[in-house]
């Protein structure tokens, strides 16, 4: 009994200490680990007490749980402003400006606000055990947005069946606002009105993309969904067509002429826009000179021109599953600026003198004139590296040798070794995927990567390292922040369960070496997918900014993007800043440059989302030919609504809905990335191997549904699955393996 009283006193004293800590946090966020460390509580019992107490405070509404296990003090008033989040499942919410809390808004209290609208709300008093609720009282600022879907046109009315996850209702369209659209067209529609007493909004057609289901219409719909352009303005094309290469004797005389140096490009087999080339020659002192030559886009695209404004707005080329949507008109990107073989080209170059051990003895950044002697595909260059035979074999082999030394040093200095396989589709003339192949990074790819990294970091250091008594100049950096501490700690705990040690404290170099060792040790083992996936998820996203914090993932103190101005606007910004500063120019406006950096980072993320959506669309289309078939796979994601499975054979990913796990009631364990059955204790965890059957392929939702197949759950018939067979099975082709594996499971 005395022991219990003592324990209670200790627990109460600990809770008081937690209360004192929380009161001092104001707007900061914290979890039980941060609180435990701050209070010097290292025992598992004390940490468990703190974790339970924080959860109890959140349940009582004293704290806000902003993410699983992460808390903050509420700064809530009964009136607030924020951004409205509309969901097609009816779970609308508002994210308040003052503390970022997400508060539920019932549809009846939404005033028909749309996703992204700025709204004023009143917040109801918190009721113990229930989530808070808000009511929209005014729409302060409407976000301009459009919706994509399929037109249904009858004799007297028309409406749009939307594809959006942000709108549950159809959009009514007066026939006079159809812009020629007919039944079955894929269309872009803008909402023009949503009366208070109406269930459906009213809208007008902005553009017709084509017939629903047609490849081009569906790909354009993906671009439109993310607000990305799918057509090039004719005025910009006309302006580009007037530009001439203009490599006159006067222009050549103002540059370093390197046309007599052996130069070549190495690119994907389907590439047309060759941003970069490498040159190499032996110097009299025994060292080698390696030139990294980049298309001099800014010589042709002048600041503020119609072409420049369009490029700045796009910020990046978009690489979809079956096409490239270029940042620059093709006359420039695939013509004048592209470093095609046997053509004189204007380039911006970083030229290195390197000794036999790949140590950079000297470097210079200069405008040049170059001439590529050969265009290699990655496959052709790889064959030279593997056989030692082919055009310019001596030069290619020497560059490969130097690149391997650079890469080894980079990893030793803390660069993280994430080597992921990319999925690509063979597409027929109608845009239908017929087979899958895997794009793997081999020595030829890594050769180019190392010299591009070297050029980028050299350019960044040239501006970023400021001489004494000089002021830093505004510049564009590519930065990568430190990993999320909690995710890294969770990764270390899981890795320990499999027998691997992972550092979570120490210098970035020490932590990254530890991550690399773990990634190397798990190769080919059952837990590889689990730990590699979580390692990637622990990392921050790289962005463009004027504030240099270094690039954690690469282990570089200074880094930028200089090597791809044909497809990335930040590289054009860097080229212009380099020219200005190398010629003694003054610094530019930091504020304006930061705005441009943020826009480029945002557009890069949108482009990546569109690329993933296009891949997902083709995966669903491809797997639609394999309904009812059984595949082996690995659990690639675990959520409260089900399991995501990535198939071993083709890397396509689908969902096993939790409702289809009919053998038990499953609870979601976010910390351990698993679903656990209450009755039989059966567990599905991230990284586990499973067998699945393809149940459904919904192209409109871009969604694949699988069912688990095992001894208790044998494969079902297509009728039982509710799926209809479509088309024929297609083969799987792996890059690097000349064998084609054709099969027909039916």
- pLDDT, tens only, 651-686: 899 999 988 887 888 998 887 788 998 888 889 988
Closest CA to 501 of 465, 596, 493, 261: 493
Q: How confident is the model at residue 130 (pLDDT cuts 50, 70, 90)?
A: low
Q: Please tell me the predicted confidence (pLDDT) of residue 730.
A: 36
Q: Average pLDDT in the 733-743 region? A: 36
In three-state form (DSSP H/G/I as H, E/B as E, the rest C), the secondary structure along 43-75 is: CHHHHHHHHHHHHHHHHCCCCEEEECCEEECCC
Q: Which two tokens stand for residue 597?
A: 């950096």
Torsions phi, psi for 610 (to 5 deg): -65, -40
pLDDT digits (tens, 9 = 90+) for 555-580: 999 999 999 999 999 999 999 999 99
572 Cβ contact partners less than 8 Å away, ≥ 6 residues apart: 297, 298, 301, 311, 565
**Rounded to whole angstroms, how far apart are CA atoms 120 and 140?**
7
Give me the pLDDT at residue 531, please: 81
Q: How far is CA 88 from CA 168, 170, 195, in A?
A: 4, 11, 19
Q: Are 26 and 48 in contact (CB under 8 A)?
A: no
- Report if pTM > 0.85: no
β-pairing verdict for 134-141 and 666-669: unpaired
Q: What is the pLDDT of residue 729?
A: 34
Higher pLDDT, residue 163 or 78: 163
**Per-residue pLDDT tens digits for 215-260:** 999 999 999 988 899 999 999 999 999 999 999 999 999 999 999 9
The side-by-side arrangement of strands in the sheet containing 29-30 is 29-30, 70-72, 64-67
- Judge whether residue 447 has pLDDT over 50: yes
Which residue reads 């059955």 in tokens? 677
SS3 state of residue 708 = strand
Q: Which residues of 198-282 form beta strands (DSSP E)?
A: 202-211, 256-257, 263-267, 276-282
Of residues 13 and 338, the one with the higher pLDDT is: 338
- Contact between residue 578 and residue 348 where contact means Cβ atoms under 8 Å apart: yes
What φ, ψ does residue 249 adopt, rounded to 5°? -55, -35
User: Which stretches does DSSP call E strand in 238-359?
Assistant: 256-257, 263-267, 276-282, 288-295, 318-319, 324-325, 344-354
End-to-end distance of the chain based on CA atoms, in angstroms? 70
Q: Are 702 and 627 in contact (CB under 8 A)?
A: no
pLDDT > 90 in the chain, percent: 51
Q: How far apart are CA 344 and CA 296, in angstroms?
A: 12
pLDDT of residue 373: 97
| Lookup: tokens for 357 | 């051990």
User: CA-based angle 683:686:687, to the nearest 5?
Assistant: 110
Strand pairing category for 360-371 and 256-257: parallel
For position 621, what pLDDT does the model report?
93
Query: Residues near 52 by Cβ (< 8 Å), separated by ≥ 6?
Result: none
């Amino acid at each position: 009994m005395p022991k219990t009283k003592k324990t209670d006193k200790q627990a109460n004293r600990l809770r008081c200490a937690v209360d004192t800590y929380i009161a001092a946090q104001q707007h900061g966020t914290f979890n039980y680990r941060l609180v435990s460390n701050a209070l010097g509580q290292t025992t598992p019992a004390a940490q468990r007490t703190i974790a339970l107490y924080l959860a109890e405070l959140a349940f009582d509404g004293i704290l806000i749980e902003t993410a699983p296990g992460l808390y903050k003090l509420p700064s809530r008033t009964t009136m607030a402003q924020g951004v409205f989040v509309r969901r097609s499942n009816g779970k609308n919410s508002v994210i308040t400006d003052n503390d970022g809390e997400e508060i539920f808004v019932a549809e009846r209290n939404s005033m028909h606000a749309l996703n992204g609208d700025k709204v004023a709300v009143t917040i109801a008093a918190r009721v113990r055990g229930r989530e808070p609720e808000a009511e929209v009282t005014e729409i302060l600022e409407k976000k301009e947005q459009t919706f994509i879907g399929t037109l249904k046109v009858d004799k007297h009315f028309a409406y749009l069946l939307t594809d959006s996850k942000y709108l549950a209702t159809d959009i009514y369209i007066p026939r006079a606002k159809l812009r020629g659209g007919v039944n079955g067209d894929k269309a872009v529609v803008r909402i023009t009105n949503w009366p208070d007493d109406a269930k459906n909004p009213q809208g007008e057609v902005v553009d017709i993309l084509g017939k629903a289901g047609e490849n081009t219409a569906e790909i354009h719909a993906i671009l439109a969904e993310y607000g990305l352009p799918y057509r090039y303005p004719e005025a910009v094309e006309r302006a580009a067509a007037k530009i001439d290469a203009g490599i006159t004797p006067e222009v050549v005389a103002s540059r370093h002429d390197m046309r007599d140096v052996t130069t070549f490009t190495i690119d994907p087999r389907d590439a047309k826009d060759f941003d970069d080339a490498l040159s190499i020659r032996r110097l009299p002192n025994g060292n080698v000179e390696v030139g990294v030559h980049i298309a001099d886009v800014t010589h042709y695209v002048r600041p503020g021109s119609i072409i420049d404004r369009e490029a700045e707005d796009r910020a990046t080329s978009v690489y979809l599953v079956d096409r490239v949507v270029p940042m620059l008109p093709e006359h420039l990107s695939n013509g004048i600026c592209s470093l095609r073989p046997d053509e004189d080209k204007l380039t911006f170059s970083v030229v290195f003198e390197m000794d036999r051990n790949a140590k950079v003895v000297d470097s210079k950044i200069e405008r040049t004139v170059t001439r590529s002697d050969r265009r290699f595909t990655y496959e052709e260059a790889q064959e030279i590296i593997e056989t030692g035979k082919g055009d310019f074999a001596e030069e290619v082999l020497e560059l490969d040798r130097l690149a391997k030394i650079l890469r080894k040093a980079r990893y030793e200095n803390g660069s993280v070794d994430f080597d992921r396989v990319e999925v690509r589709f063979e597409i027929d003339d109608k845009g239908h995927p017929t087979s899958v192949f895997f794009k793997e990074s081999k020595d030829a790819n890594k050769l180019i990567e190392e010299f591009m990294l070297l050029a980028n970091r050299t350019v960044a250091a040239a501006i970023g390292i400021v001489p004494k008594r000089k002021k830093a100049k505004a510049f564009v950096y590519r930065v990568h922040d430190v990993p999320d501490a909690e995710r890294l700690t969770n990764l270390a705990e899981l890795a320990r369960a499999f027998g691997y040690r992972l550092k979570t404290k120490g210098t970035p170099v020490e932590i990254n070496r530890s991550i690399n060792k773990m990634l190397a040790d798990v190769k080919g083992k059952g837990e590889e997918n689990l730990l590699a996936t979580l390692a990637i998820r622990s990392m921050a996203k790289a962005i463009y900014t004027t504030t240099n914090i270094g690039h954690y993932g690469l282990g570089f103190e200074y880094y930028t993007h200089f090597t791809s101005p044909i497809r990335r606007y930040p590289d054009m910004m860097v080229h212009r800043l380099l020219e200005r500063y190398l010629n003694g120019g003054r610094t530019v406006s930091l504020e304006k440059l930061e705005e441009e950096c943020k826009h480029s980072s945002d557009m890069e993320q949108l482009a990546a989302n569109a690329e993933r959506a296009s891949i997902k669309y083709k995966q669903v289309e491809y797997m639609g030919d394999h309904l009812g078939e059984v595949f082996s796979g690995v659990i690639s994601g675990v959520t409260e609504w089900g399991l995501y499975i990535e198939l071993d054979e083709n890397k396509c990913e689908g969902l096993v809905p939790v409702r289809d796990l009919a053998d038990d009631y499953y609870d979601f364990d976010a910390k351990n990335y698993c679903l656990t059955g209450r009755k039989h204790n059966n567990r599905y965890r991230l990284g586990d191997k499973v067998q699945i059957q393809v149940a459904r392929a919904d192209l409109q939702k871009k969604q694949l549904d699988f069912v688990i197949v095992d001894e208790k759950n044998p494969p079902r018939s297509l009728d039982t699955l509710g799926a209809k067979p479509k088309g024929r099975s297609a083969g799987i082709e792996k890059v690097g393996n000349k064998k084609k594996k054709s099969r027909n499971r039916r």
